[in-house]
Structure 1
Amino acid sequence: MLPTVRTHPAVVTALAADLDAAGFTVDRVDALWGSEAAASLHRGSRVAALRALAAREPSALATLATLFVLGLPVPRSDAERAFPTAGLDGVLAAGLLRRDDDSDDAGVPDAGHERVRPTVDLRPYAFVDDLGAGSWWIVSDLGELALGTALGEEHVLGIGGASTTLSGLQVPVPVRRVLDLGTGCGIQALHARRFADEVVATDISQRALDIARFNAALNGVDGIDLRLGSLFEPVAGERFDRIVSNPPFVITPRRDGVPAYEYRDGGMVGDALVETVLRGLADHLEPGGTAQLLGNWEYRWGDDGLERVRSWFADTDLDVWVVEREREDPPAYAETWIRDGGTKPGTPESDALVDAWLDDFATRRVTGVGFGYVVVRRPTGGPARLRRFERVPEALGTNPAGLGATVARVLDAAAWLGAHDDAALASAHLRVAGDVTEERHYWPGNDDPTVITLVQGGGFGRRVDADTALAAFVGACDGELSVAAIVAAIAQITGVDGDALSADLLPRVRDLVLDGLLLAPTS
């Protein structure tokens, strides 16, 4: 039974002071053992980090890192020195530590020296968003490295690749109310609060809400309303300016013997939970409100995954942009998530679980599973103007920290394009974005390029093949001339029909505006 994490205000405030005084930051912890040991930790080995610590003088920082990052016990005396303000008894009462027995990890008596052992993972976290650099301390449950076993079904996940992706995907525009659906340790709610007056964070797990409450208090963040319940049940009848969610989207067999982790398994068959969440957005978004989510969707025999997602929005008036970043075949998907739960590959337990997963996929004739981002907006008036379902290879794109601004630009561009027909577009004065460069490739000895590529430096790092006419058009977009004037000039220089050139270029110009390579007027 996992101990309850308790938010005692005085203890939490004192603990924050101790963590700060010890220099418990990302940079300082990394410096404790160096980049090689840090990489080894990511691969699941603590040996290099422990060797580096053994060569250093004892310190409060080393004690904190040993306890909460490495997940190992320390002598009580060291722990007492690491918590001079909160006091060891206070940290024990908060449920972050427990008293250990008088033996080492191999069961050998420890000369009667009392030790304390962590019950949670607590580590520093650093980030950069449109408000600048920030840092927090984040509590979650101990991982399999510290536990030495597979994860429990009530496990509360810490910060991983999916959570950093979603936090970077959040639109960095101030709003009144945000809903964090399935908050887990609360990381998305903390990020959302930086741009919102109020955040409502829901979860089906009481332990997750306890940990999220502790994290908010530890980092001095107020204005987060935590509610227990499944999906939209805790916010029935309410609407929000923004909804963010990393829902429990993992497709898991619903049968005995297969662990169902609260943090990732939604308790529904196949991708039904993601469908339920996406279909529920329309009822909970204010006009002009947006949603940013992660999700999985199944490919079934004769049924394209992205087309299935498209069908979920068919009867809504929402703007929708779905980006599929990767796709896995059924065995690879099963092996990924079985390993994620702490079951080692190649063991009888793992083999039995893979069998169960493949049986489950076979019942629905699943041929693959897609993973990606879903961006939604409820228009302020009129019909939906954006229905974009695309596959963007994982290799494309930049740091996810910048994707929120990209999402905002795409939504604004879609609204602008929807309000401008071709005649209005022809009158507009466009500018090429500052991160766009051009690549040209020539056959030896030739003056004319064989390949011209427009390259986006930010956003999704798109690469757009262009002919000489499109390249010339983009090169002339400095905001001085209208689209029509640029097209007419290119037609005159190249000796082609102006109407034909306009008909060829305008659809491609629209795509470049939507992708952010060309910028529409701001007023």
Structure 2
Amino acid sequence: MLSDLSALSGPLSAALREAFQATGYHADGVLDLLGAQAHTALGRGEPEPARRASRDAGELGTLVRLLLLGDPEPAGAVEAALPGVRTGDLIAAGLLAPDGDRLRAALDVRPYGDDEGSWWVFADLDADQRPDRRVPADHVLGIGHASLSLARATMRRPVGSLLDLGAGCGVQTLHASRHARSLTATDLSERALSLARATFAINELDVRTERGSWFEPVAGRRFDQVVCNPPFVVGPPRVDFTYRDSGLAGDGASELVVRGLPDVLAEGGVGQLLASWLHLPGEDWAHRVAAWLPDTGVDAWFVQRDVADPALYVGTWLRDAGIDPRSPQGSAQASAWLDWFAENDVAGIGFGFVTLRRTPDGTPTHVDCEDLRQAFDDPLGPEAAGWLDRVDWLRRNDTREALLDTAFTVPRTVVLERVAEPGSEGWAELVRRLHRMDGPGWQHEVDELTSALLAGCQGALPLRELLALLAGAHGLDSASLVDAAVPVVVDLLRHGMLLPPELAG
């Protein structure tokens, strides 16, 4: 029997919402039931602790096993756990399926929350919850590592209009509902839009949805913010799975989105996306991605979080689709994929985040490319916003005189580390390093003069006076010291390790 996914975005969504709330099937309720350890284990793909915790938990336990663990449950128990909802309607809508005298989940429906509250998300079942352990070509991904990473990397400042380009099941739109007044979600896949509409309906969100390829559904419109988790997988120009494959060769999908963003952003609008790029012999990855941008009208920040070798990359994405790399199918796909990498001299595949802002026409494009592979705990979204603020300040104060007249401050989150080794005359210093203890944990190695200069940056004296004092104390030529200090100050400012008064508060 064919299911009618559209029913999930109609009156049935309101009934489901009330039933979930009555049973306690929301983010806080599930966490309280499972406890931190079982909840964390479930996130790692280890269901048994959650199964044990839900064993004697009544109706909420039934929903946890049914919808989160994929266990078939007695039909009567499911009906009791969903008061006011007819299980026949859920079967017709494709959310449940008969399994002998029991019912099992045919879709992934799970609570998902942030610091402000809880939502529910509709998506397709992962491979490990499917009888054949495989996902179909039109599979709609749920709450995965990539979507969570993008959510943490996205700015949350209030905006008027926001576009979720390639919305999938709608996770980014949920987060955007906290800070955007109007929401638009697009996708090429009708199945993805059907599940996204169900997600929006059960969470009582007013979202305009449009179907189409890339920017076509919003041609002629401008947005204050765009978020995008595109099908960024790098490889031959084919589409095995719509959620990850674009049909464009290499890093063409990421290039297409980066090139197209300025045309759908209002002036001052910001686009943020996950992206991948090729690493080729003799080519700096930063030069490659910068070439995707126009000469004017854009500020862009590329953050590379990882670089994978081709063999590891292929194996990872085969397993993601539930394909055993050792199987005949896996071997054939891996061989074709690796052949394409070899034919195109691909040495590695970079992955990371892009933040792009549209600036007034004629403004020279500014691009920063960062290699940020270390682990850090803070979300990257506030740092992206801070980077834009600091680029703005540097553009308004783009002369040496303006920098020298500024009384900078070293934030309290910046510390100076000294590393030394024992020597014949005591400790011998190996390195001095500035370390930001917040955000992405930027680090800068500095010399003795720079650390002395920064010790005086307390928001009282302008840089000009501090450099004059430093030159006098060390018997240095003042002009030469200024020449050396200005680029260092600019680099530290871009990383938030030195702030002007307007940004220090």
Q: TM range, normalised to the smaller chain? A: over 0.9
| Correspondence for 1:321 among 283, 292, 301 | 301
Alignment of 1:225-244 (within 5 A): 225-244=208-227
Amino acid at match of 2:162: V
- Cα deviation for residue 353 of structure 1 reads 1.5
Gaps of 5+ in 2: none
What is the match of residue 434 of structure 2? 454
| Correspondence for 2:466 among 486, 508, 513 | 486
Alignment of 1:305-344 (within 5 A): 305-344=285-324
What is the match of residue 150 of structure 1? 134
| Correspondence for 1:165 among 144, 149, 161 | 149
SS in structure 2 of the partner of residue 307 of structure 1 = helix
- Cα deviation for residue 62 of structure 1 reads 0.9
CA shift in 2, pair 1:479/1:447, >3 Å: farther
Looking at structure 1, the residues matched to 219 and 245 of structure 2 have their Cα atoms a distance apart, in angstroms, of: 22
- Cα deviation for residue 299 of structure 1 reads 1.9
Which range is displaced more, 26-35 or 425-434?
Answer: 26-35
| Correspondence for 2:401 among 417, 423, 436 | 423
SS in structure 2 of the partner of residue 135 of structure 1 = strand
CA shift in 2, pair 1:297/1:475, >3 Å: same
Is the 8 Å Cα contact of residues 3 and 91 (structure 2) preserved in structure 1? no
Is the 8 Å Cα contact of residues 4 and 92 (structure 2) preserved in structure 1? no
Is the 8 Å Cα contact of residues 3 and 92 (structure 2) preserved in structure 1? no
Amino acid at match of 2:208: D
Looking at structure 1, the residues matched to 358 and 24 of structure 2 have their Cα atoms a distance apart, in angstroms, of: 44
| Correspondence for 2:334 among 330, 341, 354 | 354
What is the match of residue 399 of structure 1? 378
Question: Does 2:238 match 1:251?
Answer: no
- Cα deviation for residue 516 of structure 1 reads 0.8
Is the 8 Å Cα contact of residues 249 and 266 (structure 1) preserved in structure 2? yes
CA shift in 2, pair 1:210/1:461, >3 Å: same
CA shift in 2, pair 1:463/1:33, >3 Å: same
Instruction: With the length of structure 1 as denominator, give the TM-score of the two structures.
Output: 0.90
What is the match of residue 199 of structure 1? 183
Residues 283-332 of structure 1: CA deviation (Å, up to 9, x unaligned) = 11111111111111112343333322111114453111111111111111
Looking at structure 2, the residues matched to 48 and 205 of structure 1 have their Cα atoms a distance apart, in angstroms, of: 35
Looking at structure 2, the residues matched to 89 and 433 of structure 1 have their Cα atoms a distance apart, in angstroms, of: 60
What is the match of residue 110 of structure 1? none
* Identical residues among aligned pairs (%): 39
| Correspondence for 2:253 among 235, 248, 273 | 273
Is the 8 Å Cα contact of residues 170 and 192 (structure 1) preserved in structure 2? no
Looking at structure 2, the residues matched to 45 and 480 of structure 1 have their Cα atoms a distance apart, in angstroms, of: 56
What is the match of residue 14 of structure 1? 15
CA shift in 2, pair 1:300/1:115, >3 Å: same
What is the match of residue 3 of structure 1? 3
What is the match of residue 516 of structure 1? 496
Residues 410-469 of structure 1: CA deviation (Å, up to 9, x unaligned) = 111111112211110100121222321221234456588542211112221111111122
SS in structure 2 of the partner of residue 7 of structure 1 = helix
SS in structure 2 of the partner of residue 237 of structure 1 = coil
SS in structure 2 of the partner of residue 519 of structure 1 = coil
CA shift in 2, pair 1:44/1:308, >3 Å: same
Question: Does 2:99 match 1:116?
Answer: no
Amino acid at match of 1:170: T
**Equivalences, count:** 498
Question: Does 2:3 match 1:24?
Answer: no
What is the match of residue 61 of structure 1? 60
Instruction: With the length of structure 2 as denominator, give the TM-score of the two structures.
Output: 0.93
Residues 227-264 of structure 1: CA deviation (Å, up to 9, x unaligned) = 00000000111111111101011124346xxx611111
Alignment of 1:467-486 (within 5 A): 467-486=447-466
